Structure 1
Amino acid sequence: MLGYSPLYLVILSGTGVNTGTPYTTKYELIYGGSAEAGLDLWNVNQHSWGFISGVQISQERKMFSGKVNGQDVNTTTPTAKFQTSFIYLGAAYKWESFYVPLAITYGISKIEPAAGATGTTTEIKTGAGALLGFGYFFSDSFAIEYIGRSATMKLKFTNGADHEENEGAISAPLLNLKYFF
C-alpha cells in the first residue's frame, strides 16, 4: 500500500500547573501532509463481508497551523514534529468493484519537541480509534481507497514542578493505492 495523507488534525484539552497556578488548555493543531506505506492482510470476496488488517506507517510531519486556547500558533518558528502510524483490524464489504472498510485502529505516535525547547519532558500515548472509508478495485490486483482514521491520545509535558496533561484525539484522511497478490 502506498498512500498520501494531506493532514493530521490533533484536538486536545486538559489542565496544567505553572509556578503553582492551575490553568486549562485546548489545542487545535493541524500537521502537514506526508506519504505513507503499509502492508495489508485481507480476505474479502465479492458480495460479502471479509476480514481486513494492516499497518500504515507515516513520515514525520511539521505543524501547518494551530491554535492554543484560541490563539494562533506561530508556525514560522520551529514547532514540534509529529508522527503517527496506525494498526487496524476489521471488516470490509465488497460489491463487484466497490468496497467499504470498517475497522478498529490503534495509533502509535512519536513527537519531537521544537528545536530549542529545553528542560521539558514530553510523554505521548495513543490508543484505540476507528477507520472508515470506501474503495474501488479497478482490476483484480489494484484498488484505490479513501479512508478516515482516528486514535485517542494523551500528551503530558513536565518541566520541574510545572506540568500539563491533555487528552483528545488525532484524525487523518488517507488516499491509498493498493496492490493485492
Structure 2
Amino acid sequence: MWEGGICIIETSVEKLNGIAHKLELHGYKWTKQRTMTLEVLLEKDSGYLTAEEIFMRIKSKYPQIGLSTVYRTLGLLNELHIVRKVTFNDKSTRFGLRDDDSDHLPPHLICKACGLIEKVNEDWLSELELHLRKEFGFQVFDYQLDFIGTYAECNENTCKKPNPSAP
C-alpha cells in the first residue's frame, strides 16, 4: 500500500493486531486458537487451505487443538469477513485471508496436475465490469472466476508445486 509516496508494508503482527481489534469490536475474545489459525493463513504462500490442512499445521505446534475448534474459528472469521470461504471445482471448501483492497473474490489459476491454487491480479476485470455496465446496463456485485489447466512444469513432469500427487 502506498501512502504519501511511501510504501507501507503491513507485517503479520500488524495484520493480527487489526484482526484482534475487529474481533473485540464484535464482542469476541482474542484466543490462542484464533491466533494460531490466522498465523497459518498468514504464512508466506499458504494460499487457500482446507480446514483439515489448517488443523494439521496447528496441531504440529499445539496438539491440544481439535478439528471442530478450527471449523468454528473459520466459521466466525468468515462471518466477520476476515477470511473467505471458497468452494472450488474439486468440491473442496478452502479458506484464505481476505484482501482488504477488494470487494470481489480474486480470479484463480487451478492446476489439475498438482492442485496448486494461485490468486490472479484482478485489475483487468475492472474494465470488464465497466464495459458490462455501459454496454448492457448490468451492475456487477460479485463474481467467481477460476481458470483450470496445467502449468508448463507440470506438463513436463518437473512440477515443484506443493501437491504433485493431486488428480
Note whether the superposition's TM-score is higher than 0.5.
no
Higher RCO structure (Cα 8 Å, ≥6 apart): 1
What's the TM-score, normalizing by structure 1? 0.23
Return the structure number with greater strand share. 1
Return the structure number with greater helix share. 2
